[in-house]
C-alpha cells in the first residue's frame, strides 16, 4: 500500500536498506558520547546545511518532535507571552500548548482564504516571540516567502518562530527571514516518526542565553552546549539520526525537489479542474500549499473516494479538525516517486470523472 497521508507519511523507498546499513555499521550499539556517534551527528548536521541550504551561522538541534519544539520555544525563548497567528488546527494547537505555560499568550485567527499580511493585524508591535505556521497541514495552506519577508520587515524586534513541519525539505524556505524553524521527520523528510529538527538564528541563540532558562532537560542553553560538541542531552534515537543522514545524502538539492513537487501540484490542480465532485477546500490558489492538498466534497463522496482509493492500494489522508468529514488530504512529499504520483493522478482522473453521482 502506498500512503498519501500527510504524516506519518510514506517513508522513502530506501528506508530498509539504510536500516540494514546502520545495523551493519555498528553505530546503533555505540555510546552517544563516543567518537563514532559524534562523527555521525556532525555529518548529519553538515548534510542538512548543504541540502536544505541553511545559513552557516544558524545552529541545528534535534528534538523528539515538532511538539517538543513548541514547548522549547515557550520555555526557553519566550518572555511573558508569545503572539500566535494561525488559520488552522496545528497553529491553534501550538497556541494552546503555549498558553498553558504563558497564560497571557495572544492568539489571532485569520481566514484561510486570505493572504496574510502584517498590515491587517490588529496588534501594533508584538515583542518576545511571534509564531507563524508556514504550512498549515490541516487545511493545505502556506505562507509565501514574500509574506514572511513582510513580517520580518514589519516586526524587527520579536523573534519569529516558524512551524515548517509539513514543508521543510519539500518547500523552498528562506531561513534568513525568521529566527526559529522546526519540523518533524515524518512529513517531507520521508522518515519514520519520532524526531524533530530545530534550526536557530544567531539572534535566537543570543536570546536563549540572555533568558538563561536551565530548568528542564530540554532547556535551550543545555541543548546547545551538547549539540555544539556533537552530543545530545539525552540518549537520542541513533537510528533516526542515521536515517536522516542517509536520506538527505541521497536526495537532490532542495530546488530540484521543490520544482518537482510544484509540477505535481499543478498536475493535481488540472485533474481537479476537470471534474465537479471534489473542489479544493481552499479556493484562493495563491495561498494553497504545495506539499499538502485538502479536497472538499460531501462526507459521502469523501468516504467513498477514500474507500475506492484503498481498494487501489492508495491510502489518502483523512480531513483534520473542523474539516474532518468533508475533506481528504493528499501529501505531495518527496518520498513519493514520480511513477507513484502518476498512478495516483491516473486513479483520481478516472475515478472522479467517471461517476458524477
Ligand X SMILES: *Cc1c(COP(=O)(O)O)cnc(C)c1O
Cα gap 79→130, rounded to integer Å: 11
Q: Does 139 bind ligand X (CB under 6 A)?
A: no
Question: Which residue stretches of the chain are H helix?
Answer: 15-25, 35-52, 66-76, 89-101, 145-154, 202-211, 220-228, 238-249, 254-273, 299-311, 338-354
Q: How many residues of this chain interact with ligand X, rule: CB under 6 A?
A: 11
Fill in the per-residue mask, 239 to 258: x = in contact with ligand X (CB under 6 A), - = not in contact. --------------------
Q: Are 326 and 297 in contact (CB under 8 A)?
A: yes
- Closest to ligand X by CB, 37 vs 91, is 91
Fill in the per-residue mask, 288 to 327: x = in contact with ligand X (CB under 6 A), - = not in contact. ----------------------------------------
Burial grade of 300 (CB within 10 A; 0-12, 13-18, 19 or more): exposed
Using CB under 6 A, pick the residue from 48, 66, 224, 243 that binds ligand X.
66
Roughly what angle, to the nearest 10 degrees, separates helices 238-249 and 35-52?
Answer: 40
- Closest to ligand X by CB, 277 vs 288, is 288
- Closest to ligand X by CB, 64 vs 127, is 64
Tell me which stretch binds ligand X (CB under 6 A): 61-69, 250-258, 278-286, 310-318: 61-69
- Write down the least CB distance from residue 355 to ligand X, Å: 32
Fill in the per-residue mask, 114 to 133: x = in contact with ligand X (CB under 6 A), - = not in contact. -------------------x
Cα gap 259→270, rounded to integer Å: 17
Q: Tell me the residue length of the chain.
A: 357
- Write down the least CB distance from residue 264 to ligand X, Å: 19
Q: What is the rounded radius of gyration, in angstroms, for the C-alpha atoms of the chain?
A: 20
- Write down the least CB distance from residue 154 to ligand X, Å: 23
- Write down the least CB distance from residue 339 to ligand X, Å: 26
- Write down the least CB distance from residue 165 to ligand X, Å: 3
Q: In the numeric block, which cell numbers belong to residue 117? A: 499580511
- Closest to ligand X by CB, 51 vs 134, is 134
- Closest to ligand X by CB, 137 vs 226, is 137
Q: Is 291 helix (H, G, I), strand (E, B) or coil?
A: coil
Tell me which stretch binds ligand X (CB under 6 A): 64-72, 139-147, 251-259, 325-333: 64-72
Burial grade of 306 (CB within 10 A; 0-12, 13-18, 19 or more): middle
CA-based nearest residue to 101, from 133, 147, 67, 134? 67
- Closest to ligand X by CB, 7 vs 334, is 7
- Write down the least CB distance from residue 67 to ligand X, Å: 3
CA distances to 3, 144, 253, 303 from 317, in Å: 8, 24, 27, 11
- Write down the least CB distance from residue 342 to ligand X, Å: 26
* CB count in 10 Å sphere of residue 110: 17
Q: Are 65 and 195 in contact (CB under 8 A)?
A: yes
Cα gap 182→351, rounded to integer Å: 37
Using CB under 6 A, pick the residue from 44, 65, 201, 219 that binds ligand X.
65
Within residues 175-194, the interface with ligand X by CB under 6 A covers 184
- Closest to ligand X by CB, 9 vs 219, is 9
- Write down the least CB distance from residue 316 to ligand X, Å: 16
Q: Does 230 bind ligand X (CB under 6 A)?
A: no
Cβ neighbors of 112 (< 8 A, separation 6 or more) are 87, 88, 136, 139, 141, 282, 287
- Write down the least CB distance from residue 177 to ligand X, Å: 18
Cα gap 242→219, rounded to integer Å: 24
Within residues 147-166, the interface with ligand X by CB under 6 A covers 163, 165-166
Q: Does 67 bind ligand X (CB under 6 A)?
A: yes
The footprint of ligand X (CB under 6 A) covers 7, 65-67, 90, 133, 137, 163, 165-166, 184
Amino acid at each position: 500500500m502506498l500512503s498519501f497521508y500527510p504524516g506519518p507519511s510514506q517513508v522513502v523507498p530506501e528506508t530498509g536498506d539504510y536500516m540494514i546499513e546502520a545495523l551493519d555499521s555498528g553505530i546503533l550499539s555505540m555510546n552517544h558520547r563516543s567518537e563514532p556517534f559524534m562523527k555521525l551527528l556532525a555529518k548529519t548536521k553538515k548534510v542538512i546545511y548543504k541540502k536544505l541550504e541553511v545559513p552557516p551561522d544558524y545552529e541545528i538541534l534535534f528534538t523528539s518532535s515538532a511538539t517538543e519544539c513548541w514547548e522549547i520555544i515557550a520555555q526557553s525563548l519566550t518572555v511573558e507571552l508569545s503572539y500566535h497567528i494561525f488559520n488552522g488546527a496545528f497553529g491553534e494547537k501550538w497556541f494552546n500548548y503555549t498558553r498553558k505555560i504563558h497564560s497571557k499568550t495572544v492568539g489571532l485567527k485569520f481566514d484561510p482564504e486570505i493572504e496574510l499580511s502584517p498590515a491587517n493585524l490588529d496588534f501594533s508591535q508584538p515583542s518576545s516571540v511571534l509564531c507563524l505556521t508556514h504550512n498549515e497541514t490541516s487545511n493545505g495552506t502556506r505562507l509565501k516567502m514574500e509574506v514572511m519577508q513582510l513580517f520580518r520587515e514589519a516586526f524587527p524586534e520579536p523573534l519569529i518562530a516558524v512551524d515548517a513541519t509539513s514543508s521543510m525539505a519539500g518547500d523552498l524556505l528562506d531561513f534568513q527571514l525568521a529566527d526559529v524553524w522546526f519540523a518533524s521527520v515524518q512529513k517531507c523528510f520521508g522518515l519514520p516518526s519520532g524526531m524533530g529538527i530545530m534550526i536557530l538564528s544567531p539572534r535566537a541563540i543570543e536570546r536563549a542565553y540572555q533568558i538563561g532558562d536551565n530548568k528542564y532537560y530540554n532547556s535551550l542553553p543545555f541543548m546547545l552546549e551538547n549539540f555544539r560538541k556533537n552530543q545530545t542531552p539525552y540518549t537520542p534515537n541513533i537510528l533516526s539520526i542515521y536515517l536522516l543522514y542517509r536520506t538527505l545524502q541521497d536526495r537532490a538539492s532542495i530546488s530540484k525537489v521543490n520544482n518537482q513537487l510544484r509540477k505535481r501540484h499543478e498536475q493535481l490542480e488540472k485533474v481537479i479542474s476537470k471534474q465537479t465532485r471534489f473542489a479544493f477546500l481552499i479556493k484562493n490558489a495563491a495561498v494553497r500549499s504545495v506539499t499538502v492538498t485538502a479536497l472538499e466534497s460531501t462526507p459521502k463522496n469523501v468516504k467513498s473516494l477514500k474507500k475506492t482509493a484503498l481498494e487501489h492500494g492508495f491510502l489518502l489522508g483523512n480531513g483534520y479538525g473542523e474539516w474532518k468529514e468533508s475533506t481528504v488530504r493528499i501529501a505531495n512529499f518527496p518520498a513519493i516517486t514520480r511513477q507513484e504520483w502518476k498512478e495516483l493522478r491516473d486513479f483520481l482522473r478516472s475515478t472522479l470523472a467517471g461517476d458524477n453521482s
